[in-house]
Amino acid sequence: MIYEQDQIKRIAEKARRFILENHLAEEFIERLSQSGYKGSPIPKMEEIVDNGCLREELFCFLCSKNPIFQNAEQERKGDLLIKDLERIGRIPRQIKGSDMEQTAWEVADLLKELDYFKYAEYMKCMDDPADPVRRIYMDLKVPEKRMELADYLLEFTDTEYMEKIRSVAAKLEDMDSKVCQQAGKKEDLRRR
């Protein structure tokens, strides 16, 4: 799964260039228009790549077009782009990775249980389950938003999820101390 929004932007730009280079833009937009998006503005490529259902439309479109390329280089580029699109929403069977990635999944699960409306703030229409987790992950990178989430979760400590909430809130607070320690080390290095 891809967590970083910068990577999403790079893949979106790669998709945009690929579609333009191969003169597929009109055909792709026509496909979007016919598949239930009639009357809606055509989203930017970054929005398409960042949304599960739209990303699936792009994925299927590219899969149908890639075998017809007569240029081996274009076919190779198409294959790489298809693999990138697949990785974005692929939900790992076991969440391994950084503390922040694991915590993003835990926060998402808690929000679903405690306040689905709050969880829905991270959703867009037609998302797949990985998309809101990525947005939570991006919020966890911002100290103020991370603390807001910790405070929000702590409001529910009188529920059956008390232990899990405290555990996740402690992780969120611990991230702040790690960030402060890292910032202090960087400052010390600059002074030298």
CA atoms within 13 A on the CB side of 34: 7
pLDDT band, residue 14 (cuts 50/70/90) = very high
Is pLDDT larger for residue 185 or for residue 63? 63
Q: Give every CB contact of residue 136 below 8 A, 6+ residues apart in sequence.
A: 104, 107, 108, 111, 122, 149
What pLDDT digit, counting tens, does each position of 66-112 carry?
Answer: 888 778 888 899 999 999 999 998 877 666 667 888 899 999 999 99
The secondary structure of 144-160 as a DSSP string is HHHHHHHHHHHTTTTST
Is pLDDT larger for residue 36 or for residue 167? 167
Return the pLDDT at 89.
82
Return the pLDDT at 66.
83
Taking residues 6-35, report their average pLDDT.
93
What pLDDT digit, counting tens, does each position of 50-60 carry?
Answer: 999 899 999 99
Return the pLDDT at 191.
53
pTM for the structure as a whole: 0.79
Return the pLDDT at 183.
46
pLDDT band, residue 37 (cuts 50/70/90) = low
What pLDDT digit, counting tens, does each position of 121-179 carry?
Answer: 999 888 888 899 999 999 999 999 999 999 999 999 888 989 999 999 888 888 876 65
Residue 33 structure tokens:
């228009």
Query: From CA 153, how far away is CA 3, in angstroms rounded?
Result: 22
- Tell me: pLDDT of 184 over 50: no
Contact criterion met (CB below 8 Å) for 107 and 140: yes
Phi, psi of 86 (to 5 degrees): -65, -40
Contact criterion met (CB below 8 Å) for 75 and 66: yes
Contact criterion met (CB below 8 Å) for 22 and 71: no
Query: From CA 63, how far away is CA 101, in angstroms rounded?
Result: 30
Taking residues 116-121, report their average pLDDT.
95
- Tell me: pLDDT of 182 over 70: no
Query: From CA 4, how far away is CA 138, in angstroms rounded?
Result: 7
Residue 157 structure tokens:
């400590």
Residue 188 structure tokens:
């010390």
Phi-psi region at 171: left, alpha or beta (left = phi > 0; alpha = psi -120 to 50): alpha
Residue 13 structure tokens:
């730009």
Taking residues 14-35, report their average pLDDT.
92
Helix (H) or strand (E) holding 59: helix 52-65
